Copies of this chain bind each other. A is one copy, B any other.
């Protein structure tokens, strides 16, 4: 029986798996995650959105660019012609957190879950970078794929 870890061959060596036989289909992935911080740090971000110091505007650009670098960062990822990236930030007042959601799409032979997750990670990291002088204790969490569509395995939606 073959291993469920498809990134290794029969000898257990890492390889970039053959996707040449897969069909080109419309593929969509949505991932999310959040960064939790001090109430006063969150207040600085919220204030910046409206006025000076647009932390989330900078983080959005970093997240979009990171999606395009995914196959360069993750060793066994295939390069993919991304056709869409959308990044959304929401303020979670109750948790004192910023939630980042990334949606990535392609017409390709493999899914874009890694691209969506990489965008979220770099979006959150950029928020950390810009606020770290005020708050070094921020924590990134709940980073996961929310849903994916397209390809042979079809639709997948995370359980709440």
**Contact status A17-B84, CB under 8 Å:** yes
- Copies of this protein in the assembly total 6
A123 nearest CB across to chain B (Å): 10
**Contact status B113-A117, CB under 8 Å:** no
A10 nearest CB across to chain B (Å): 9
A65 nearest CB across to chain B (Å): 6
The listed residue (B18, B58, B79) touching A81 by CB distance below 8 A is B79
The listed residue (B79, B118, B132, B134) touching A82 by CB distance below 8 A is B79
Binding site for B on A (CB under 8 A): 3-9, 11-20, 26, 33, 44, 48, 51-55, 57-58, 60-62, 64-69, 71-88, 105-109, 113-114, 117-118, 121-122, 125-126, 128-134, 136-145, 148, 156, 158-159
